[in-house]
Amino acid sequence: MKIILLSGGSGKRLWPLSNNSRSKQFLRVLTTPDGGKESMIQRVARQIREAGLTDEIVVATGANQLDAIGIQLGKDTAVVTEPERRDTFPAIALACSYLRSQGTSPDEPVIVMPCDSYTENTYFSTIGLMAKAVSEGVADLVLMGVRPTYPSAKYGYIVPAATPVDGEPTPVSRFTEKPEVAEAERLIAEGALWNGGVFAFRLGYLNEISDRYMPQASFETLRANYGKLPKISFDYEVVEKADSVAVIPYAGDWRDLGTWNTLTDELSDLTHGNVITDACTSTYVINELEIPVVCIGAKDFVVAASPDGILVSERKLSENLKHLVGDLGKRPMYEERRWGQYKVIDMVEFPDGYCALTKQLTINAGCALSYQRHNCRDEVWTIINGEGELVLDGERRTVSRGDVITITRGQMHTLRATTPLTFIEVQQGTNLVEEDIERFPFDW
Amino acid sequence: MKIILLSGGSGKRLWPLSNNSRSKQFLRVLTTPDGGKESMIQRVARQIREAGLTDEIVVATGANQLDAIGIQLGKDTAVVTEPERRDTFPAIALACSYLRSQGTSPDEPVIVMPCDSYTENTYFSTIGLMAKAVSEGVADLVLMGVRPTYPSAKYGYIVPAATPVDGEPTPVSRFTEKPEVAEAERLIAEGALWNGGVFAFRLGYLNEISDRYMPQASFETLRANYGKLPKISFDYEVVEKADSVAVIPYAGDWRDLGTWNTLTDELSDLTHGNVITDACTSTYVINELEIPVVCIGAKDFVVAASPDGILVSERKLSENLKHLVGDLGKRPMYEERRWGQYKVIDMVEFPDGYCALTKQLTINAGCALSYQRHNCRDEVWTIINGEGELVLDGERRTVSRGDVITITRGQMHTLRATTPLTFIEVQQGTNLVEEDIERFPFDW
């Protein structure tokens, strides 16, 4: 079997720890069985591995998550990036096209699942049963049905044709999307299950559906013409149109840690970082800044500080964030990249529109920036730790603490760290956008 | 009459807006009659001026407040700095010695008062009456007695010998320091008043007391031997020992805005800076950082963010701060200086003890840094705005946007701004302390 992990998501609901480049599934805030820290996506990948389901995971995501996935799941993880953001059907179709291009049999069961559900191990044995049901031809499409614990109006409901038994496939009668609470109560009495967003099917089944849009297109062709695929969800395009659908119930823990309120329930420590609390109750304070956070007399709050901003929220009201931070995250102020990490430590715009942006960057030992140039900004780098090799307009030299490198617009440059290398970068110009970068191959 | 304003105070109770260099009385958070902003010390100076009491104010303070007083009260303000921190008696004795050295008559009435009481105009007319009572020889020492509004256990009480009448001097019978509440109730029934910390006396009266420690010492001698004066408060050394003490009651508004809880009562706006609030009640959010603060669902809170740190506190509990921030303020992260201002934007210490500190500095047009050198650190300056004149080891040149200046340890340097000049400074070395600076005269 193959697993397609859907890794999407904006950085809004767990702002300021998440941002446009660091979505919630990449926050290393959960505790591993051995006491370490892991992110939601790392937890799901670990659970898949521990359940012995498969070693073959394909992550379907956007280009801005490529670095984060490589860092968290390993550089060799297969990642299929959408050339542009559309919806779940085209994203899954593209990943399935990739699997076909890799020679996967059309009869191979494929599981599509979210990368951020917080579940227990029986979730993964249920997934194993779903793949088995597909292999045995029980239905074209097998869904996971999560046993409802309350009549939620937030979820989609799967209504089975007969009373469902845990671990066994039952034919599906119909779907109901986000019903009113009273209707949800009636559905649950009928044996309805929540749609957990986990789907199983034969690879060929999905390839055939996408072939209707672009007959027998290769992966490269499909990717090049991605914009021609309809902007539609997998639920609407595939699930609701399928003739033969079965559901297997899952009765265990199933949570979305996508808001501060739900995430903090799973945190093992009340504070993280440079924090002092006094007279606080059920209050979580997470500080990724160097400066201290002092929190006094808060009850049921979450306080989070990062280079992107500062959140102070009553826990239950933290869902409001989604509507509030829409325009805040103009650019990420902290990013983990394949070569290391950076944070923006200062940003200033002068009355004439001229801007300066100062970063602290660390390149991991053995890693290098891309060979690049900027057309609208000059940069000054001051090395404050470590040693490395600089290439500036083709000339190589070693650099270390105290060295100052001035890079004017148009100059080609790259830097490779021999030991962990930290430097302060001052960018300046009239138009400081992240997109002002051209990358070129470089042979070290 | 002369007025000695006592400007002391640590930066703890209004942290993180106040710090070791920016005490609470310098925070420009109050609203002036014409809608502008002023600090507590500016408000008191304005009220003295508007009451027509005197133009001759001497500020008694520590050396670290010299720049702030010059900026806020004007460069020509007389400031007497303690060579070391002792207590109120030596500080007042030094200021009185200064007045004698300036030729002030021993019969001149002197008022000593705090610089951070939040009061109304009748407070200043009461001060006028106190000076008049001293001139008329009513008593050696005339105190202001604030009409108590509740039986506080925090204040000192002045017990008059007869029922006191507002605006009229009454002989003092005795003093009681911070009584229990029940005792305070009895004292108030007896006509006792709070000790407002405002004292009036003939200049010669106090000069005579300090002469007992150092007979007829000049101001310079007294200052040079400041450590020989006893570490004792004015209340213990002068007030409690005086033979002839009178009190004049003041019945108006009298508040100490020294905690976030009391200060926020006087703020005209709930938010300041880059702030978004949602579903908050009676919550004040003051953000001096560039990054946004989002505050959701807080009731009766104060949130304050500055380069020194972040405070989230239930308003009534904000007094706890004093005990919590003791060791936080290792160095100020933001300072207003006579030449402009700076903020620390990054601080990092590497495992081998090597440190780097990055600042954003702005020099006001026409102002200059002192001519200085450092012995333990190198600096790299990147000019990001404005124009100025640099002197590096005696060589002058003009600098502007994009210029990079490297200053190695031991190099003499100064910078004068022709227009407002902003630059990023990266300091590095094994021992980055503020004290690593030697200043020399420079003739521009």
Q: Which residue, among B296, B295, B297, B327, has the nearest Cα to B309 in the 3D structure?
A: B327
Q: Give the gap in angstroms from C-alpha B178 to the nearest C-alpha of chain A.
A: 26
Please tell me which of the candidates A276, A303, A346 has its beta carbon nearest to residue B360.
A346
* Interchain proximity A346–B324, CB inside 8 Å: no
pLDDT in tens, A176-201: 999 999 999 999 999 999 999 999 99
Which candidate in B278, B299, B306, B384 is best for mutational testing of the A interface (most A CBs within 10 A)? Answer: B384
Find the length of chain B: 444
Average pLDDT score over residue span A59-75: 92
Q: Give the gap in angstroms from C-alpha A18 to the nearest C-alpha of chain B.
A: 14
Q: What is the pLDDT of residue A9?
A: 73
* Interchain proximity B348–A291, CB inside 8 Å: no
Q: What is the pLDDT of residue B63?
A: 87
* Interchain proximity B309–A317, CB inside 8 Å: no
Whether residue A11 contacts residue A329, with contact meaning beta carbons closer than 8 Å, is answered with yes
Identify the sign of the CA torsion A159, A161, A165, A166.
negative
Residue A273: alpha-carbon gap to chain centroid: 23
Is the predicted pLDDT of residue B310 greater than 60, yes or no?
Answer: yes
User: Which DSSP category does A299 fall into?
Assistant: B
Collect all residues of chain A within an 8 Å Cβ-Cβ radius of residue B347.
Answer: 290
Please tell me which of the candidates A296, A404, A424 has its beta carbon nearest to residue B313.
A296
Residue A92: alpha-carbon gap to chain centroid: 15
Collect all residues of chain B within an 8 Å Cβ-Cβ radius of residue A296.
Answer: 311-314, 317-318, 320-321, 324
Which of the residue ranges A20-34, A139-153, B327-341 would you say has the lowest mean pLDDT?
A: B327-341
Q: In this structure, what token pair is assigned to residue A122? A: 């029986």
Q: What backbone torsions phi and psi does residue A308 show, to the nearest 5 degrees?
A: -80, -25
**B202 HSE (CA, 13 A, CB side):** 17
Please tell me which of the candidates B293, B301, B350 has its beta carbon nearest to residue A309.
B293
Q: Which residue, among B146, B109, B98, B134, has the nearest Cα to B1 in the 3D structure?
A: B109
Please tell me which of the candidates B291, B295, B309 has its beta carbon nearest to residue A294.
B309
pLDDT in tens, A120-155: 999 999 999 999 999 999 999 999 999 999 999 989
pTM over 0.80: yes
Collect all residues of chain B within an 8 Å Cβ-Cβ radius of residue A295.
Answer: 311-313
The larger pLDDT score, comparing residue B275 to residue A75, is at B275
Is the predicted pLDDT of residue B329 greater than 60, yes or no?
Answer: no
- Mean pLDDT score across all residues of chain A: 94
Q: Give the gap in angstroms from C-alpha A402 to the nearest C-alpha of chain B.
A: 8
User: Which DSSP category does A368 fall into?
Assistant: B
pLDDT in tens, B104-151: 999 999 999 999 999 999 999 999 999 999 999 999 999 999 999 999
Collect all residues of chain B within an 8 Å Cβ-Cβ radius of residue A288.
Answer: none
pLDDT grade, residue A323 (50/70/90)? confident
Query: Rounded CA gap, B60 and B65, in Å?
Result: 10
ipTM entry: 0.88
CB crowding B5-42: b at 16 or more within 10 Å, else e: bbbbbbbbbbbbbbbbbbbbbbbebbeeeeeeebbbbb
CB crowding A273-283: b at 16 or more within 10 Å, else e: bbbbbbebeeb
Which candidate in B283, B285, B290, B291 is best for mutational testing of the A interface (most A CBs within 10 A)? Answer: B291
pLDDT in tens, B197-222: 999 999 999 999 999 999 989 999 99
Collect all residues of chain A within an 8 Å Cβ-Cβ radius of residue B379.
Answer: none
Lookup result for tokens 């820290």: A37
Collect all residues of chain B within an 8 Å Cβ-Cβ radius of residue A301.
Answer: 298, 312
In chain B, which residue's Cα lies nearest the Cα of A283? B312
Is the predicted pLDDT of residue B306 greater than 90, yes or no?
Answer: yes
Provide DSSP, A57-77: EEEEEEGGGHHHHHHHH-TT-
Q: What is the pLDDT of residue B204?
A: 97
Whether residue B190 contacts residue B129, with contact meaning beta carbons closer than 8 Å, is answered with no
Query: Above pLDDT 90, what percent of chain B?
Result: 86
Q: In what helix (H) or strand (E) does residue B132 lie, and over which residues does it extend?
A: helix B121-135
**How far is CA A9 from each of CA A23, A67, A115, A316, B119, rounded to the nearest angstrom?**
6, 15, 10, 21, 54
Q: Give the gap in angstroms from C-alpha A298 to the nearest C-alpha of chain B.
A: 6
Q: What is the pLDDT of residue B434?
A: 87
Q: What is the pLDDT of residue A329?
A: 57
First and final CA of chain A: distance in angstroms?
39
Identify the sign of the CA torsion B54, B56, B62, B64.
positive
* Interchain proximity A309–B320, CB inside 8 Å: no
Please tell me which of the candidates A312, A333, A424 has its beta carbon nearest to residue B358.
A424
In chain B, which residue's Cα lies nearest the Cα of A386? B350
Which candidate in A270, A294, A311 is best for mutational testing of the B interface (most B CBs within 10 A)? Answer: A294
Whether residue A432 contacts residue A376, with contact meaning beta carbons closer than 8 Å, is answered with yes
Please tell me which of the candidates A301, A310, A313 has its beta carbon nearest to residue B291.
A310
* Interchain proximity A404–B402, CB inside 8 Å: no
Is the predicted pLDDT of residue A330 greater than 80, yes or no?
Answer: no
Whether residue A401 contacts residue A383, with contact meaning beta carbons closer than 8 Å, is answered with yes
Query: Rounded CA gap, A118 and A255, in Å?
Result: 5
Q: Give the gap in angstroms from C-alpha A415 to the nearest C-alpha of chain B.
A: 20
Average pLDDT score over residue span B5-19: 86
* Interchain proximity B325–A356, CB inside 8 Å: no
Query: Rounded CA gap, B356 and A106, in Å?
Result: 58
Q: What is the pLDDT of residue B20?
A: 77
pLDDT in tens, A155-169: 999 999 999 999 899
Is the predicted pLDDT of residue B64 greater than 90, yes or no?
Answer: no
Is the predicted pLDDT of residue B325 greater than 90, yes or no?
Answer: no
- Mean pLDDT score across all residues of chain B: 94
Which candidate in A270, A316, A385 is best for mutational testing of the B interface (most B CBs within 10 A)? Answer: A385
Q: What is the pLDDT of residue A11?
A: 67
Q: What is the pLDDT of residue A327?
A: 66
Collect all residues of chain A within an 8 Å Cβ-Cβ radius of residue B298.
Answer: 301, 312-314
Q: What is the pLDDT of residue B256?
A: 85
Is the predicted pLDDT of residue A45 greater than 70, yes or no?
Answer: yes
Which of the residue ranges A80-94, A415-429, B251-265, B399-413 would you say has the lowest mean pLDDT?
A: B251-265
Q: How many CB atoms sit inside 10 A of residue A353's CB?
A: 8
Q: What is the pLDDT of residue A114?
A: 95
What pairs with residue B399 in β-bridges?
B388
Average pLDDT score over residue span A338-351: 95
Please tell me which of the candidates A276, A291, A314 has its beta carbon nearest to residue B307.
A291
Average pLDDT score over residue span B181-201: 96
Q: What is the pLDDT of residue B327?
A: 66
Q: What is the pLDDT of residue B369?
A: 97
Q: Give the gap in angstroms from C-alpha B351 to the nearest C-alpha of chain A.
A: 10
pLDDT grade, residue B289 (50/70/90)? very high
Percentages helix, strand, coil for chain A (3-state, rounded to 5) are 25, 35, 40
* Interchain proximity B354–A276, CB inside 8 Å: no
Query: Rounded CA gap, B148 and A431, in Å?
Result: 61
* Interchain proximity A278–B348, CB inside 8 Å: no
Q: What is the pLDDT of residue B332?
A: 87
CB crowding A129-168: b at 16 or more within 10 Å, else e: bbbbbbeeebbbbbbbbbbbeebeeebbbbbbeeebeeee
Average pLDDT score over residue span B371-377: 96
pLDDT grade, residue B331 (50/70/90)? confident
